[in-house]
A and B are shown apart, each in its own frame.
Chain A
Amino acid sequence: MLQKLYDWVDERLDITPIWRDIADHEVPEHVNPAHHFSAFVYCFGGLTFFVTVIQVLSGMFLTMYYVPDIENAWHSVQYLQSQVAHGQIVRGMHHWGASVVIVMIFLHTLRVFFQGAYKKPRELNWIVGVLLFFVMFGLGFTGYLLPWDNKAFFATQVGLEIAESVPVIGTDIKTLLAGDPDIVGAQTLTRFFAIHVFFLPAALFGLMALHFIMIRRQGISGPL
């Protein structure tokens, strides 16, 4: 039955090469923890992806309750974690997942760096990886404001002051992020929300796609 369905689709779309690219390849011995326990260092990239999936899913559920507006944002978060069934768990996954994803991406970066895996021919994938790191930091920064509590508000104010200190374009960057050169308020919250759930995830998905396509195309780097 399943085979018939596959054949039906394959006849029309020729999906076998896609399937082969995704799944049909050999895992070399040196990255397989079943053979060498020290190869667990190769798990950090996969775990980063896994936690990113957790972040996307939990974030999607959070937006079902969250209201990006300075009157209601804080109340919606408080309602979510005190009244909604499992709201505390979903918010907890998103909150702690943000920390775990930073830890994992950091460890993954260190693994790739100290193994020299960024060397020719993998320079471009390294650059995409570092850009992914920056996007993750951006997601962390913009997500911090959304609960609209004191912690969020004042940390964002400091962050925007840091952006403002950039020579020449500092004030423009701040205005772009906050919606106003001076006020951290209603517009800041909606902009950070838009950046957090639309702009940066779009960049994240695009870069992740590049990252994975390049890995599949080049293969994982050989043993040291």
Chain B
Amino acid sequence: MHRGKGMKFVGDSRVQDKEQRNTIPKDYSEYPGRTEAFWPNYLLKEWLVGAVFLIGFLCYVAVTPVSLEQQADPNNAAYIPLPDWYFLFLYELLKYEFAAAEYIVIGTVGIPGLAFGALLLAPFLDTKPGRRPSQRPIATGMMLIGVLATIWLTYESVVAVDWETREEYSVDNMVEHEVDETHPGYEVYAQNCMSCHGGVLEGEPGLGPDLLDLPHTADTIAEISVEGIGDMPAGMFDGTDEELQQLANFIVENTDTDDGEGGDEDTEE
């Protein structure tokens, strides 16, 4: 702290009263009207407002449980990503042609960079002393455009989402799979397939897809087991023809097939 003779301070503050005099705001006593002591009068009112706000907030929290979706599955190709609502404006912006694909830099850096850069530097772009919105139409206009654009983009994004479908992603709708472990083919499955397709046909991230709703018949499955399909190499199955048949039957009977032979023996819950 500076100390010394002849130092002047502004009011009861420790701001020095020097040539920067004009940067110092007026003392509160110079404001017209009725001032009020912050402590304790005003603070008490603030606490009352805060308490009412907190009660309202807690009521909302109590009646609106937070959803948790099913555990992250990087192999889930069908999932449609959705950010939190306050990023939707950016998410929606990137859907426009001028801000997507080869112009993606315009959407991710250009437009948001200009908008938020202007926001950050607003005091240096709008330097005239007039404070009323009507005295600075350009600044006010730009801000209104920015706010309206953000609200519009968010609105467009929200109405485009199929919220009912998203409900199905919730953990409450998670399907617990079970397989018939007494099936003679289960042992064959455990030895040949489980390491990539999971203990209950649910798949393993990065290794193999789930086998929960295969459209194949038992014969096709037996063929795929031996010869492979897509990224699955041939020769994964190692065993006798009888075991192969048991394996194919096991998978068909435990998958949610539409036209396979075991369709009526659906063991999913």
User: Which of A's residues lie within 8 Å of B, judged by CB?
Assistant: 17, 20, 23-30, 32, 34-35, 43, 46-47, 50-51, 54, 70, 74-75, 77-78, 81, 88-89, 91-93, 95-100, 102, 109-110, 113-123, 126-127, 130-131, 134, 137, 140-141, 144, 147-155, 157-159, 162, 165-167, 184-185, 217-219, 221-224
Contact = CB atoms under 8 A, between A and B. Distances in A.
B145 interface: no
B81 A81 contact: no
A46 B71 CA distance: 37
A130 B60 contact: no
B229 interface: no
Given A23-B39, A126-B123, A141-B87, 8 more contacts: A77-B68, A89-B61, A149-B68, A149-B71, A150-B72, A155-B81, A184-B74, A222-B31
A158 B83 contact: yes
Interface of A is mostly: helix
Interface of B: 12-15, 23-26, 28-29, 31-39, 42-43, 45-46, 49-50, 53-54, 57-58, 60-62, 64-66, 68-74, 76, 79-87, 90-91, 94, 104-105, 108-109, 116, 119-124, 126-127, 129-133, 135-136, 139-140, 143, 147, 169, 171
A123 B68 contact: no
Given A93-B61, A165-B109, A121 B25 contact: yes
B69 A150 contact: yes
B39 A162 contact: no
Given A26-B36, A165-B109, A114 B133 contact: yes
Given A29-B33, A117-B131, A167-B105, A221 B25 contact: yes
A17 B14 contact: yes
A126 B127 CA distance: 13
A122 B129 CA distance: 12
A96 B133 contact: no
30 contacts: A20-B12, A23-B38, A24-B38, A26-B36, A29-B33, A30-B33, A78-B171, A89-B61, A93-B58, A114-B133, A114-B140, A115-B131, A116-B136, A121-B25, A123-B123, A127-B123, A130-B119, A148-B72, A149-B71, A149-B171, A150-B73, A152-B72, A154-B81, A154-B82, A155-B81, A155-B82, A158-B91, A159-B83, A165-B105, A221-B25
Contact of B64 (A24, A50, A92, A148): A92
A70 B73 CA distance: 11
A99 B31 CA distance: 36
Contact of A137 (B79, B86, B126): B86
Given A28-B31, A152-B72, A166-B108, A219 B25 contact: yes
A17 B9 CA distance: 14
Top 8 closest A-B pairs, CB basis? A116-B131, A29-B33, A153-B72, A123-B123, A154-B81, A149-B69, A121-B23, A23-B39
B74 A153 contact: yes
A81 B35 contact: no
Contacts, number: 216
B66 A95 contact: yes
Contacts of B23: 120-121
Contacts of A148: 71-72
A97 to B, nearest CB: 8
Contacts of B66: 81, 88, 91-92, 95-96
Given A50-B53, A149-B70, A165-B109, A154 B38 contact: no
A197 B12 CA distance: 39
Contact of B31 (A97, A119, A223): A223
A144 B120 CA distance: 25
A116 B132 contact: yes
Nearest to A112: B122
Nearest to B36: A27
A99 B85 contact: yes
Contacts of A70: 72
Contact of B81 (A46, A51, A158): A158
B116 A134 contact: yes
Contacts of A165: 104-105, 108-109
Nearest to B131: A116
Contacts of A54: 54, 57
A167 B109 contact: yes
Contacts of B133: 114, 116
A218 B25 contact: yes
A74 B71 contact: yes
